[in-house]
Amino acid sequence: MKLHLFDIPVHIKWSFWLIALLIAPFSLDTWLESAVIRLMAVWALVVLVSVLVHELGHAIVARHYGAKVSITLYALGGYTIWETATPLGPWRRVAIAASGSAVGFALGGLVWAGLDVYEPASRVLNFGLAAFWQVNLVWGVLNWLPIRPLDGGHIFSGFLEGSLGPKRGSRVANVVFPVFTAAAGWYAWRQGLVFAAFLAGFVLLSEVQRFGAGRRPPPQQAPPERFLFEDTGGDGDGG
């Protein structure tokens, strides 16, 4: 499925819908209710809007800095690809990475405040609004963890580069990220979040490989003609 929003191309893969339904927060009793179809449809809409708004936050800020952008929604959430003729500075990259969850926080906070004032009589509508603010606030916080595939990893990397310089910032990041990823994986395992723990394990493996590659002298190569950046939102950022 392909569409354009604010002149930004958006590609939604079938795996996005599949995983969105598989992670629906329903109890066994809910699955046996006659209203489950409507609840599933509302949940899928909540996930779609939440992830799409998150990625649009990245894309619009990146485009403001002159980048060409596109959005893809897939099994693990979504990601925004933006490219520029020359690399953007670290603080602009921090702004792009932070903008996705920031938009989610704003919208989720508004819905939460609205429900505190007025609660709809419809169970399905009430479920959808409650799920919306919970998804945007909780997933947004998790997406800001300093783990490299997440927005928090990009924010932390940009902060280190802007504060310490590219080389020193990269060295610090290559130490901090594996430690934090290992800690997050251990915590997920202790909490019984097996899938999250395995994901952390794969990320940790890539961090160890990156650390080893960083200790070797880089190969000689021609400079790239453009700067391409893939921002994983994962709200599932993903974000």
Token pair of 194 as six digits: 């097996």
134-193 confidence digits (pLDDT tens): 999 998 998 999 988 889 999 999 999 999 999 999 889 888 888 889 998 898 888 888
3-state secondary structure of 68: strand
CA–CA distance, 142 with 133 (Å, rounded to integer):
14
Q: In the predicted model, what is the mean pLDDT of residues 199-220? A: 70
Strand-pair category, 8-12 with 68-74: parallel
Token pair of 25 as six digits: 């927060």
Residue 238 has pLDDT above 60, yes or no: no
